[in-house]
Amino acid sequence: MILLMHKTGIEDTQVLRLRQQTGQEVVVCHRKDVTPEDLERADVIITHQLTVEHLAQAARLSWVHVLSAGIDHLPLSALAERGLVLTNSSGIHAIPMAEQILGMMLMFTRRLHTDLRSQLRHEWLRGREGLGELYGQTLTIVGAGRIGQEVARKAKAFDMRVIGVKRRVEPLSWFDEVVASARLDDVLPESDFVLLLLPLTEDTHHLIGARQLEKMKSSAILLNFGRGDVVDESALIRALAKGHIAGAALDVFHTEPLPPDSPLWDLDNVLISPHKSGISNRYYQRALDCFLRNFRARQAGRPMPNRVDIARGY
């Protein structure tokens, strides 16, 4: 039995398609309303959230598919202890995230956020200071996976130079250059935009701190759309306040929701979105399509494309 432990936003037609294409019984419930009986019968759980208590009741469980890319909110030790298969929905966020990332970059180059503030004050300000273009600028994407590759594809339409930073160096379409993670500090000084698309692991925690921010251009923009703690938030606030970098576009934070007293709210050179860049009206359609691809691979004895290495955390 497949237990779909998430109800909000999923349409009946999508559940029907899940039943038809798997040939399995599919039980749908809200996480708060799940019964011990449903958990006991579940061979597969599809969910956003999962607790140790859920796992303790799911004796038949062999596979968990999470409706997000990140897995750091899951009880990973308990999953590993049980030897359970874990897959995520990595890849489904590429289109909406890429559109939001390019949108925020355009806001900075065309100063659209300042125009919006002027509109709210009924002010007609035609200042030319700071107006620029994406054309010819260098975008460095740290974490050149599926989302990064979609951003790169769209960035090339603006005639940008794109550098990728990843663990394994390989040629990638739409990238002018790909360098190893160890060379991040080398490419920061030549980057006009630095985009972070990394999971949170021991290696990526505070990857961007005071030293890295000092290496960036004073005209550079930092964009974090991976995990909040990839950036040392205190160091970022100091760098923004002192003008060491020109601005930041942030979708993720150390604490979420972002506390009302965070200095980030009041900095004129910061754009904030509440961890929603991957959301669109096609989210659950794509998430269930992703599950089905992994289901078919498993049935055929092929490697599951979204299987997570629990030890590595991604």
As a whole number of angstroms, the distance between CA 77 and CA 165 comes to 29
Catalytic residues: 227, 256, 275
Cα angle 151, 153, 155 (rounded to 5 degrees) comes to 65
Residue type, 20: Q
Distance CA 136, CA 195 (A): 17
Q: How far is CA 34 from CA 11, 27, 46, 50, in A?
A: 18, 10, 12, 11
What's the CA gap between 89 and 10, in Å, rounded? 15
What 3-state DSSP class applies to 17? helix
C-alpha closest to that of 192 among 104, 101, 105: 105
Q: Which of 147, 28, 34 is nearest to 98 (CA)?
A: 147
Q: How far is Cα 45 from Cα 126, in angstroms, rounded to an integer? A: 55
d(CA 195, CA 41): 43
Could you give the CA distance from residue 262 to residue 134 in angstroms, rounded to a whole number?
30
Residue 163 half-sphere exposure toward CB, CA atoms < 13 A = 23
